[in-house]
Structure 1
Amino acid sequence: MAGPQRKRGSPTVQWQQLIEQVRYSGRYATGEEAEDVLRAVLTVLGSHVSGDERCELARLLPVEAATILTAQIPLTEPLTAPGFVDAVARHLPPCTGPEARWATSTVLCLIAQLAGEDLSLRMLSELPRGYALLFGRAELTAAA
């Protein structure tokens, strides 16, 4: 029998692997610290991603991450990028602004890698300007 094949839309990583990726990328000392960061960012992200993008992202995440993401009620108007970072900071007390920005960017960059180019661009198109940097992308503007 051939090796396992990944079904379309099935998780690409397991929960513990995702925590370890956050720990490594964010240079966190422990898995527990990385898990707290991951949970905080997913909680805030869950209130910002909706529709097909939310469903597609949830299918790509481990069950534990998808549950956190989809348990949130989407906001009618998303926060600005700085407001998003502030919301993450409130979930990680005591957390400074720079620490919250680092945590947010660490997780959102990993989410973008898991989501792929198409889904990442669709999620960014639904968010206010300023989020691209949090996802590890340049903020591009159309020429006049």
Structure 2
Amino acid sequence: MRTPWETFLTAVHDRGQYPTRAEAERAARVVLALLGAHLVGDVRARLAARLPETLALILLNPLQAHEPLSPQRFVRATAAWIEGATEGTAAWDVSAVLSVVADTISDDLLNQLLLQLPAGYDLLFGKPFRGPR
């Protein structure tokens, strides 16, 4: 039987079509650390509860964001944290990780999460936002 960690990482690996699991893990760690810097309170805690423990700890102990990043700046920040990444490869990493997150959580939690983020993040998660802004 697979652990939650193996299940999540395999999904990211498959979704991102990474050559190695190490690359999928690196993408997951960076993207969730950056995401955690933008979420607060109950929403961040509820999301962490749905993630494997290692990734939940990364999400819950992020660097603090000085200002909310637009989706484009989030991708650029991801590129800056992944050695050798370009904006194009970082967009791929963000999409691979966040779409697996979206598949892991309920639509209600995803909508609450999206309310804490600037407009446009729904596209990074691969799910159109269904709620008032």
Tell me whether the two structures share a fold, i.e. TM-score over 0.5.
yes
| Structure 2 alignment gaps of length 5 or more | none
How many residue pairs were aligned? Answer: 130
C-alpha displacement of 1:73: 4.0
Distance of 1:34 and 1:81 partners within structure 2: 20
Residues 16 and 92, structure 2, Cα contact 8 Å, conserved in 1: yes
Residues 49 and 74, structure 1, Cα contact 8 Å, conserved in 2: no
Task: Give the greater-gyration-radius structure (CA).
Answer: 1
1:57 partnered with 2:47? yes
- Give the 4+ runs in structure 1 shifted more than 4 A: 139-142
Relative to structure 1, the CA distance from residue 48 to residue 98 in structure 2 (aligned partners, 3 Å threshold; closer, same or farther) is same
Tell me which of 12, 22, 29 is aligned to 2:12. Answer: 22
Report what 1:70 is aligned to: 60
Q: Deviations over 1:122-144 (max 9, x none)?
A: 111111111111010236797xx
Residues 39 and 65, structure 1, Cα contact 8 Å, conserved in 2: yes
TM-score where L is the length of structure 2: 0.90
* 1:35-114 matches, cutoff 5 A: 35-75=25-65, 77-114=67-104
TM-score where L is the length of structure 1: 0.83
Distance of 1:100 and 1:46 partners within structure 2: 17
Aligned partner of 1:84: which letter? F
Whose helix fraction is larger, Structure 1's or Structure 2's? 2
Residues 40 and 92, structure 1, Cα contact 8 Å, conserved in 2: yes
Relative to structure 1, the CA distance from residue 72 to residue 98 in structure 2 (aligned partners, 3 Å threshold; closer, same or farther) is same
C-alpha displacement of 1:75: 2.8
SS of 2:111 mapped into structure 1: helix
